Amino acid sequence: TFEVISKHGDHEQVVFCNDPNVGLKAIIAIHNTALGPALGGTRMWNYKNEDEALVDVLRLSKGMTYKAAASGLNLGGGKAVIIGDPKTQKSEGLFRAFGQFVNSLNGKYITAEDVGTNVQDMEHIYMETPWVTGIPKDFGGSGDPSPYTAHGVLMGIKASAKEKFGTDSLKGMRIAIQGLGNVGSNLAKYLQAEGAEMTVADIDMARTKKVAETYGAKAVSSEEILFTDCDILAPCALGAIVNDQTITKFKTKVIAGGANNVLAEARHGDQLRELGILYAPDYVINAGGLMNVFVELEGYSPDRAFEKTKRVYDNILKVYEIAKRDNIGTHTAADRLAEERIKTIGRLKQRH
Ligand code: NAD
């Protein structure tokens, strides 16, 4: 196991949680706490085996360290996985037992919702530990993060427009949105207010039609949207949209959206750079939701959370500065921004 850990990022601590009475098999991975407590959601997934679950939690927790660090938050990176089918294997006992394990870490790991878990599961965890975010608004929680994620994405789009076109006004800017779910539809609302000229698509045609009508956008099919002639493409659906098949077909100058894992592989980031397409790294531009839960830790205020998401603008500009300074792709520059902050600020924190 130590070999697997060192291969996937030299994590500080990995906790195996076992409670056969409730059928709990979970792994909590704390990647790095140099900047603060390790925050990251709990994923429930029907993993084929424990090795697959371990690799996933190691990979995801490391990603959280980079996201928090590049976003200027005083948080480290962590993540948890529960092995099991979220459709059939959930119970109050399972999540409360898991909550006790989270509690035993005394705040070093803070959990939240992720794929396969929901607000009700967080409520069960909250019965056993205060170290959980994303609890319902009635309990002082921050509720649905997607409007905040979308607002952060808007800020990242503006910063990217400033970098590429010399202005952050989006008036008349041709912007294509792929995916009109929680994030994409909120983004469409914000972009309408900015006066952008939008083209939108979802695989759900009824949703496409509704968003297009509500926010004055042009509707196209989900096959066309990625290759629409536009200034900015905002992927807000699934990951890996920049891949060997798509990369030569884009007719955009900027890719900046809310989706996770936009690049199929890191080399596609280098290829975008060669093609002159500016890429706003996913984990920096979509950090508004993380900023929102961070505010929950300070005592939640929607206004403060909204204010905080404006920082995505500067964070994205910092990434572009590093990319120019070091002559590298923006995806590599994002990692460098995170690593530099962990090095300087993490060291400062050790002095206390
Ligand atoms: P969602 O499930 O609400 O919306 C996704 C939408 O994309 C759905 O309407 C779906 O029909 C559509 N879609 C799927 N494949 C498509 C395709 N090929 N073409 C067009 N549309 C397609 O999810 P969401 O919460 O809006 O998240 C969107 C993305 O943003 C995801 O990658 C997610 O990981 C990422 N993200 C979300 C948040 C958040 O706060 N919700 C935060 C950070 C990152």
Q: What is the ipTM of this complex?
A: 0.99
Same domain, 199 and 226: yes
Could you tell me the CATH number of the domain that includes residue 218?
A: 3.40.50.720
pLDDT digits (tens, 9 = 90+) for 149-183: 999 999 999 999 999 999 999 999 999 999 999 99
* 293 falls within a domain: no
* 182 falls within a domain: yes
Same domain, 94 and 226: no
Position 347 pLDDT exceeds 80: no
Q: How far is the CA of 296 from the centre of ligand 1 (A)?
A: 23
Tell me whether residue 137 is one of the annotated catalytic residues: no
Q: Is the CB of 114 under 6 A from ligand 1?
A: no
Same domain, 187 and 209: yes
Q: Is the CB of 33 under 6 A from ligand 1?
A: no
Return the pLDDT at 34. 93
Could you tell me the CATH number of the domain that includes residue 111?
A: 3.40.50.10860
Same domain, 160 and 189: yes
Same domain, 98 and 177: no
Position 349 pLDDT exceeds 70: no
* 350 falls within a domain: no
Position 130 pLDDT exceeds 80: yes
Q: Is the CB of 143 under 6 A from ligand 1?
A: no
What is the reported pTM?
0.94
The dihedrals phi and psi of 25, each to the nearest 5 degrees, come to -130, 110
Return the pLDDT at 232. 98
In terms of residue numbers, what domain contains 118? 2-64+76-135
Same domain, 157 and 34: no
**Is the pLDDT higher at 275 or at 145?**
275
What's the mean pLDDT in 126-136?
A: 91
From the candidates 62, 67, 79, 318, which is the catalytic residue?
Answer: 79
Assess contact for 61 and 79: CB atoms under 8 A: yes
Under the banding of pLDDT at 50, 70 and 90, the label for residue 141 is confident
Position 317 pLDDT exceeds 80: yes
Q: Is the CB of 182 under 6 A from ligand 1?
A: yes
Under the banding of pLDDT at 50, 70 and 90, the label for residue 188 is very high
Assess contact for 237 and 208: CB atoms under 8 A: no
Same domain, 199 and 108: no
Same domain, 195 and 331: yes
Position 125 pLDDT exceeds 60: yes
Largest CA distance in the chain: 61
Q: How far is the CA of 239 from the centre of ligand 1 (A)?
A: 9
Count the Cβ atoms, other than its own, within 10 Å of residue 167.
11
* Share in percent of the chain as helix, strand, coil (round to 5): 50, 15, 35
Ligand 1 atom 41 nearest Cα: 146
- Please provide the DSSP assignment of 93-141 as one string: HHHHHHHHHHHHTTTSEEB---TT--HHHHHHHHTT-S-B----GGGT-
Position 61 pLDDT exceeds 60: yes
Under the banding of pLDDT at 50, 70 and 90, the label for residue 351 is low
Ligand 1 atom 8 nearest Cα: 181
Return the pLDDT at 134. 82
pLDDT digits (tens, 9 = 90+) for 64-97: 999 999 999 999 999 999 999 999 999 999 999 9
The domain tally of the chain equals 2
Same domain, 31 and 151: no
Angle between helices 330-350 and 312-326 (to 10 degrees): 110
Same domain, 114 and 180: no
Q: Is the CB of 41 under 6 A from ligand 1?
A: no
